[in-house]
Amino acid sequence: MDITSAEFVKGVVGSDGILFDGVPQVAFIGRSNVGKSSVINSLVNRNKLVKVGKKPGKTTELNFFSINERQVYFVDLPGYGYAKLGPSQRESIEKLISWYLLYSEVKPKMVVLILDIKAGVTDFDQQTIAMLKEQGHSFVIVANKIDKLNQKERSLRMSEIRKEAGTEEVIAYSAKDKKGVEELLAAIS
Ligand SMILES: Nc1nc2c(ncn2[C@@H]2O[C@H](COP(=O)(O)OP(=O)(O)OP(=O)(O)O)[C@@H](O)[C@H]2O)c(=O)[nH]1
Ligand SMILES: [Mg+2]
């Protein structure tokens, strides 16, 4: 897929016409601060399409971005597991994510589960992977921030992550250095 345009459409917190307007959705999901927004920016080659890093855990909506005039939507999901949020805010984020994946009757064309390569597969990620498998959603895992590790640590962590996640479909990625972009674009096309 060649991305020629990207623009924010809207944020939703529940059922909404945009979920069912027939445009395929690629959903980006993962723990808070792993780099979901940065990965989207790196794919569309824009530094500021999606806000990065300012207020972790403050994104509470499903944010829809139109790619190539609605050829596809990129959906930026709120990050789960942000320790500094209160329990009720965390719960409402987790509810929104599981609603989208389990109950909304949306079938995303692809779900991109983003991890921080140093943190690896957390309990939350394991639950998400189980949910994705149960629902039969197509997904690919992105191990982001590989620029933080040297080559040796990187390949060690990659094989651990593949083992823990139970899938070979794990892309080594750096939103910062734009590594893995072609591979991820191929996986979501
Ligand atoms: N070194 C490095 N830092 C990164 C990379 N990707 C993102 N970051 C940094 O990680 C922090 C979080 O990035 P975001 O893209 O805001 O993460 P997010 O997952 O969207 O976070 P929430 O929206 O809070 O859930 C920022 O300070 C980014 O600059 C990367 O590939 N390498
Ligand atoms: Mg974000």
- Kindly report, residue by residue over 147-161, the tens digit of the pLDDT: 999 999 999 999 999
Q: Rounded to 5 degrees, what are φ and ψ at 40?
A: -60, -45
Q: Is 1 a member of any domain?
A: no
Mutate-to-test residue for ligand 1 from 36, 52, 59, 97, highest number of ligand atoms within 8 A of CB: 52
Mutate-to-test residue for ligand 1 from 28, 33, 61, 179, highest number of ligand atoms within 8 A of CB: 33
The total number of structural domains that make up the chain: 1
160 touches 19 (CB < 8 A): no
CA of 8 to the centre of ligand 2 (A): 13
At 84 the pLDDT is 74
At 23 the pLDDT is 98
Mutate-to-test residue for ligand 1 from 28, 29, 38, highest number of ligand atoms within 8 A of CB: 38
Nearest one of 7, 16, 14, 30 to 143, comparing CA atoms: 30
* pLDDT above 70: residue 57: no
Q: Is 26 a member of any domain?
A: yes
Q: Is 170 a member of any domain?
A: yes
At 87 the pLDDT is 84
* Reported confidence tier of residue 113, pLDDT bands at 50, 70, 90: very high
Contact partners, residue 100, CB within 8 Å, separation at least 6? 27, 62, 77, 106
- Secondary structure letter of residue 12 according to DSSP: E
Q: Is 101 a member of any domain?
A: yes
Query: Which residue, judged by its Cα, is nearest atom 1 of ligand 1?
Result: 145
Q: How far apart are the two ends of the chain, measured CA to CA in Å? A: 6
Chain segment 162-171, per-residue pLDDT in tens: 999 999 899 9
Which stretch of 14-23, 39-48, 162-171 has the lowest confidence by average pLDDT?
Answer: 39-48
Looking from the CA of residue 144, the nearest atom of ligand 1 is 31
Q: Give the mean pLDDT of 10-15.
A: 94
At 58 the pLDDT is 60
23 touches 70 (CB < 8 A): yes
Residue 131: give the domain boundaries: 6-188
CATH number at residue 103: 3.40.50.300
Looking from the CA of residue 38, the nearest atom of ligand 1 is 15
% of residues, the chain, pLDDT over 90: 77
Q: Give the C-alpha separation, 147 to 182, whole Å.
A: 17
Which stretch of 24-38, 81-95, 138-152 has the lowest confidence by average pLDDT?
Answer: 81-95
Q: Is 175 a member of any domain?
A: yes
**Both tokens assigned to 116:** 């921080």
Question: Which numbered ligand comes closest to the C-alpha of 82?
Answer: 1
User: If you average pLDDT over every residue of the chain, what do you get?
Assistant: 92
Q: Is the CB of 32 under 6 A from ligand 1?
A: yes
Query: Which residue, judged by its Cα, is nearest atom 7 of ligand 1?
Result: 35
How many angstroms separate the Cα of 157 from the Cα of each of 124, 163, 167?
Answer: 18, 10, 14
Query: Which residue, judged by its Cα, is nearest atom 28 of ligand 1?
Result: 53
Query: Which residue, judged by its Cα, is nearest atom 26 of ligand 1?
Result: 53
Q: Is 25 a member of any domain?
A: yes
Q: Within 10 Å of residue 120's Cβ, how many Cβ atoms?
A: 15
